[in-house]
Amino acid sequence: MSSTFSLAPKPYIRESNGKLLPRKSMLTTIRAEVITAPKQRSMRVFPELSIQGIPVADLHVQEIVQRQSKTYNMANEGTSQKSQFDPSFLEEAYERCRNICAEYAKTFYLGTLLMTEERQKAIWAIYVWCRRTDELVDGPNSGHMSSEVLDRWEERLQDIFEGRPYDMLDAALTHTVLNFPLDIKPFRDMIEGMRMDTRKCRYQNFQELYLYCYYVAGTVGLMSVPVMGIAPDSLISTQSTYDAALYLGIGNQLTNILRDVGEDAARGRVYLPQDELAQFGLCDKDVFSRKVSDQWREFMKEQITRARHYFNLAEEGASQLDKDSRWPVYTLL
């Protein structure tokens, strides 16, 4: 399952000590105890859900804010690279990105039309990369998926950021990286999410699901903030604006999960907290049977409440974006 942009397509991942929203008080977030993943020698392990009590997803955001702020300062000091692409080549590259976005993410695409031309192109390029990444796991050739495929895709991502695109669509993202203070980390995190999605199809609690949502969709919000821009007179910190972007991704991903329960069940996947299902007397068997009972309705109402909570948090930060970017985000909300 997944949803990248929920903002558009779909991506993948899991695990985190995120904000646990209790069944009876969805709007109250609490920290949970530290949970560590089992260690193995020959393969990657899932990260700790928290470090010193701080949710892993939140630590990712802090690091990304620092790294992208550094990139922004370097660009302002004149150390950014110059584009090496022919203008006509770039125009065709972005046009291809636009066509893909318009075809596969119609509602999202309409929102991008409210952006400035430069920002439109950048968001189209980011969307296309996210979609292609998602297709590795969920696309028609996903049967050939392997850890080696993802390793090669990550190497290709590094080449994009170092100015060595493999094809025209990659070139659009390379040009975007030159024009905006984007850091590679959220892109890498999305790939890591895909690795996890190939190995995990159950989530014991919302802490795990929260980190999954970070990798799958929260990363897209973090990629987008440097393109959208933050208002010079913003009343909140840069960190808070990034948090709002993360929450938009979380809300979108939770919505996708609730929308696609049947589709995911057909693939043997349940993207719902197992402990919360149990609280309502439900289990995987009820999901696979597609039986809509009173317990199921009550369970879903609480899941919807949680998703709305994250959308509300996102909306609080949208007003602090650059004024030319606020309406596109409001349309997504």
What does the pLDDT look like over 121-176, one tens digit per residue? 999 999 999 999 999 887 777 676 778 899 999 999 999 999 999 999 999 999 99
- With a cut of 60, say whether residue 14 has pLDDT above it: no
| CATH architecture, domain 55-68+83-331 | Orthogonal Bundle (1.10)
Nearest-angstrom CA–CA distance, 57 and 284: 27
- Residue 30 — pLDDT band, cuts 50, 70, 90? very low
* Tokens 């439900």 -> residue: 282
* pTM exceeding 0.85: no
* Tokens 């919360």 -> residue: 276
Q: What percent of the chain has pLDDT over 70?
A: 77
Range in 37-46, 75-84, 186-195 with the lowest mean pLDDT: 37-46
pLDDT in tens, 258-283: 999 999 999 899 999 999 999 999 99
